[in-house]
């Protein structure tokens, strides 16, 4: 039974990258504007520290329980998800795969820390700290040597983590990020008021013309709600080799794959420009959670979006606006 649970946990949380993703999403849900990730590859230790709203003393032990989420109260919430997390599985799974410490403080209380082993609470004790949360994960996959073996080399994972943080930064430009390895700062992003100031911090090797940005509120005809579309578009140099091919799509705060929207960007782009030039583009859609089906992929990496033709049309119009071209 324990083994089955362990295997199930290891399926969701299968890598260092997956752990970082889950912890960072929690920090984002806690409305942090500073998120620092530290990794100690030799010992498989890592920590994510944020200045978000924190966890109360009472809730702290619950975070490692299965299906413990503070984000869903009823089934209606489940189709109307406004947070990145909602399954309440991440911390429980991580706690089965590592020894973890969570220290946290909310305003108007002192800080508290829990220590857990095999997802069992060992201790809870007062711990002075600033408002926010620090999750420390020690000896990750120590009980799953094979999992460690099949994890890609650290360099490769670090690259992925860097990309992941960059993607979150685009969707959440108001956050300052740091990535440290063995206490050495290797990557940082400073907060800004908009994604077009983040993008240049990420794309240092691709040369592109000025970034143009359009942000608009869109009245969705099929549901009484307002959605927000943001498109940042840059034109790479004609001589750029290899072609940059840099198109990212975010929905409600998370970069995802949605081939239908991606192809809309490429085809609208190519309608107005030569076929051998490729855009640098970031599209962020903030729309009603009811329109999004996250179950195209277990890690929420790929989605189905309702009324896809409507959004393809919107993208086409926005790109045409950016190029100051009309359709006929
Ligand atoms: P989920 O994010 O799906 O709710 P998790 O297992 O990732 O589930 O987290 C469990 C709960 O722990 C969250 O619902 C939240 O209440 C709390 N939590 C986890 N990390 C943080 C954090 N960094 N700041 C504040 N609360 C947190
Ligand atoms: Mg979560």
5 Cα: distance to centroid of ligand 2 (angstroms)? 18
Instruction: From 161, 200, 206, select the one nearest 18 (Cα to Cα).
Output: 161
Q: Which residue has the higher pLDDT, 291 or 76?
A: 291
Going from the Cα of 39 to the center of ligand 2, the distance in angstroms, rounded, reads: 19
Span 142-148, mean pLDDT? 90
Kindly state whether residues 293 and 176 are assigned to the same domain.
Answer: no
234, 211 contact by CB (below 8 A): yes
Are residues 181 and 235 located together in one domain of the fold? no
At residue 224, the pLDDT reads 84
Q: Residue 237: is its pLDDT beyond 80?
A: no
Whether the per-residue pLDDT at 325 is higher than 70: the answer is no
Ligand 1 nearest atom to the CA of residue 94, by list position:
6
Q: What is the CATH number of the domain that holds 262?
A: 3.30.230.10
Q: What confidence tens digit (pLDDT) does each residue in 27-41 have?
A: 999 999 999 999 999
Query: Does residue 245 lie within any of the structural domains?
Result: yes
Which protein residue has the closest C-alpha to ligand 1 atom 16? 70
241 CA to middle of ligand 2, Å? 39
Select from 162, 189, 216 the last residue of a domain.
189
Nearest residue (by CA) to ligand 1, atom 7, is: 90
pLDDT at 248 (0 to 100):
94
Is the pLDDT at 133 greater than 80? The verdict is: yes
- Binned at pLDDT 50, 70 and 90, residue 141 comes out as very high
Most confident of 108-117, 139-148, 210-219: 108-117
Q: How far is the CA of 308 from the centre of ligand 2 (A)?
A: 27
Which parts of the chain fold into alpha helices (H)?
2-12, 16-29, 75-78, 90-97, 145-150, 154-171, 195-202, 259-272, 308-322
Number of domains in the chain: 2
Residue 328 lies in a domain: no
Give residue 274's pLDDT: 64
In DSSP terms, 177 is beta-bridged to: 35, 189
pLDDT of residue 115: 98
**186 vs 323, residue with greater confidence:** 186
Share of the chain above pLDDT 70, in %: 87
ipTM over 0.95: yes
Residue 321: pLDDT over 60? yes
Q: Are residues 116 and 225 in the same domain?
A: no
Residue 239 has pLDDT above 70, yes or no: no
CA 289 to chain CA mean position, Å: 16
Verify that 129 and 214 share a domain, yes or no.
no
Is 327 domain-assigned? no
Q: What is the CATH number of the domain that holds 83?
A: 3.30.565.10
Nearest CA to ligand 1 atom 13: 69
Pocket of ligand 1 (CB under 6 A): 22, 26-27, 30, 50, 52, 54-55, 63, 68-71, 85-92, 133
Q: Can you give the residue range of the structural domain that contains 214?
A: 205-322
Mean pLDDT of the chain: 88
Q: Give the mean pLDDT of 255-275.
A: 85
pLDDT at 33: 97
Residue 288 CA from chain centroid, whole number = 18
Query: pTM for the whole thing?
Result: 0.90
DSSP for 242-301, please give it.
Answer: S---EEEEEETTEEEB-HHHHHHHHHHHHHHS-TT---EEEEEEE--GGGEE-TTSTTS-
> Is residue 169 domain-shared with residue 87, that is, in the same domain?
yes
Residue 198 belongs to some domain of the structure: no
Residue 197 lies in a domain: no
pLDDT at 320 over 70: yes
Which residue owns the Cα nearest ligand 1 atom 8? 88
pLDDT of residue 328: 37
Q: How far, in Å, are 22, 113, 309 from residue 68 at the CA level?
A: 14, 18, 37
């Amino acid at each position: 039974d324990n083994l089955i649970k362990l295997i199930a946990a290891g399926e969701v949380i299968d890598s260092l990258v997956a752990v970082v993703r889950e912890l960072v999403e929690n920090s984002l849900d806690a409305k942090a504007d500073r998120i620092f990730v530290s990794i100690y590859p030799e010992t498989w230790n890592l920590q994510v520290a944020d200045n978000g709203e924190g966890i109360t003393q009472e809730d702290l032990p619950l975070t490692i329980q299965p299906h413990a989420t503070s984000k869903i109260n009823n089934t209606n919430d489940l189709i109307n998800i406004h947070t990145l997390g909602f399954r309440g599985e991440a911390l429980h799974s991580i706690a089965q795969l590592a020894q973890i410490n969570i220290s946290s403080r909310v305003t108007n209380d002192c800080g508290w820390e829990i220590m857990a082993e095999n997802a069992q609470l060992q201790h809870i004790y007062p711990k002075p700290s600033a408002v926010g949360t620090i999750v420390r994960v020690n000896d990750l996959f120590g009980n799953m040597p094979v999992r460690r073996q099949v994890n890609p080399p650290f360099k490769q994972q670090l690259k992925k983590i860097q990309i992941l943080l960059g993607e979150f930064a685009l969707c959440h430009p108001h956050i300052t990020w740091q990535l440290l390895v063995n206490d050495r700062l290797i990557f940082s992003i400073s907060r800004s008021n908009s994604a077009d100031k983040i993008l240049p911090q990420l794309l240092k090797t691709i040369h592109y013309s000025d970034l143009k940005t359009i942000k608009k509120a869109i009245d969705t005809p099929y549901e009484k709600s307002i959605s927000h579309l943001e498109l940042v578009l840059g034109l790479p140099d004609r001589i750029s080799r290899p072609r940059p091919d840099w198109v990212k799509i975010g929905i409600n705060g998370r970069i995802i794959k949605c081939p239908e929207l991606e192809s809309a960007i490429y085809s609208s782009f190519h309608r107005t420009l030569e076929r051998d030039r490729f855009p640098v583009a970031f599209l962020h859609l903030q729309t009603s959670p009811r329109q999004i089906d996250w179950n195209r992929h277990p890690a929420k990496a790929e989605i189905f979006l309702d009324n896809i033709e409507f959004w393809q049309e919107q993208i086409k119009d926005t790109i045409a606006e950016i190029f100051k071209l009309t359709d006929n």
